[in-house]
Copies of this chain bind each other. A is one copy, B any other.
Amino acid sequence: MNILIIGGGGFIGQKLARQLAQQGRLRGQTIDRLTLADLAAPATVAASFVVDTCACNITDRPSLDALITPETDVIFLLAAVVSSHAEADFDAGMQVNLFGVLNVLDRCRAAGHAPVVVFTSSLAVFGGEVPDPIRDWTIPNPQTSYGTQKAMGELLINDYSRRGMIDGRGFRLPTIAVRPGKPNRAASSFMSSIIREPLNGQEAVCPVADDYLHYYLSPRRCVDNLLLGAEIEAEAFGSNRCLTMPGQTLSIRQMIDAMTEVAGPEPEKLIRWEPQDEIQKIVSGWRFDYDPAKAVELGLTADQSFVENVRYYIEDDQTAA
């Protein structure tokens, strides 16, 4: 079993790699080799199997020809230009999120062995005038370029799978919180910052009101779901390989209260409330009411309460911060 993580330097990619190292098996087979690819060669992980790391840009098709071979059994395709970057730089988003994905799929097609491809999509595919809750049959009606590009990726995952060029499966990730590391250019960055920075004794800015509702999943649960996503038999997906990954709908207030339950009253005092129009304009277009029935039926899970998310951050990531 040879596994490739494209976007293996990102925090989900690294957590996925560490979990694969820990379990040593996938789809009933022993893992022989794990390759972590990203724009810069990612950090390696300790494992009982071979771990390669390499630099790769999915917009450069030749670099994929060496990376994806008939020996590549499972590909996690996590690489993406994130939402506010794709909104600020339309061409950058199209190059990576559309043409880069096409390069990966076309390389798989050329390799000819229909590898499992686990694609990370986003709830940013949803928006506009559609009734709540968002169901398995709700139209992706994205209101950002990032969401548009992810929705196109889903269509490609489905068609390349239907044609037998890949064995694809796509999962629309809820916003991952608490995300480790530093703030990034995603418009959702504050949704982790307002918990992570205060837990680390640092100030954080909340650009929206505390009744802002959104849909969240912990990194630990996300990795579990992606691994399960690679295990599910193709036939179980039926006529659509792309699903909403389960999450929890929470207000900013509920998240802060969970932080207080775990870490006491001091962290909240480090949150500065500073409304930001540009962020609000983007995130207010995002939906928060989902019914991910098919994913739940396939065994994917959400966190039970945001207290879990806060505890996972402290257990898994805080010492590394």
Contacts and interface: CB of A to CB of B under 8 A. Distances in A.
Interface of A: 90, 127-131, 136-143, 145, 148, 151-152, 155-156, 158-159, 162-163, 238-240
Contacts of A129: 136-137, 238-240
A143 B238 CA distance: 11
Nearest to A125: B155
A133 to B, nearest CB: 12
Given A137-B138, A156-B148, A143 B90 contact: no
Contact of A138 (B127, B139, B145, B239): B139
Contacts of A162: 143
A141 B90 contact: no
Given A90-B163, A238-B128, A239-B128, A148 B155 contact: yes
A142 B128 contact: no
A143 B130 CA distance: 23
Contacts of A138: 137-139
Nearest to A148: B159
Contact of A240 (B90, B141, B145, B155): B141
27 contacts: A90-B163, A127-B239, A128-B239, A128-B240, A129-B137, A129-B238, A129-B239, A130-B137, A131-B137, A136-B139, A137-B139, A138-B139, A139-B139, A139-B140, A140-B140, A141-B158, A141-B239, A142-B159, A143-B162, A143-B239, A145-B159, A148-B155, A148-B158, A151-B155, A152-B152, A152-B155, A155-B155
Nearest to A165: B90
Contact of A142 (B140, B141, B152, B155): B155
Nearest to A285: B239
Contacts of A163: 90, 145
Contacts of A156: 148, 152
A136 B148 CA distance: 18
Contacts of A240: 128-129, 139, 141
Nearest to A158: B148
Contacts of A130: 137
A131 B138 CA distance: 10
A64 to B, nearest CB: 18
A148 B145 CA distance: 18
Leading 8 A-B pairs by shortest Cβ distance: A128-B239, A130-B137, A148-B159, A152-B152, A139-B139, A148-B155, A137-B139, A141-B240
A130 B148 CA distance: 21
A148 B151 CA distance: 11
A141 B125 CA distance: 14
A73 to B, nearest CB: 24
Contacts of A238: 128-129
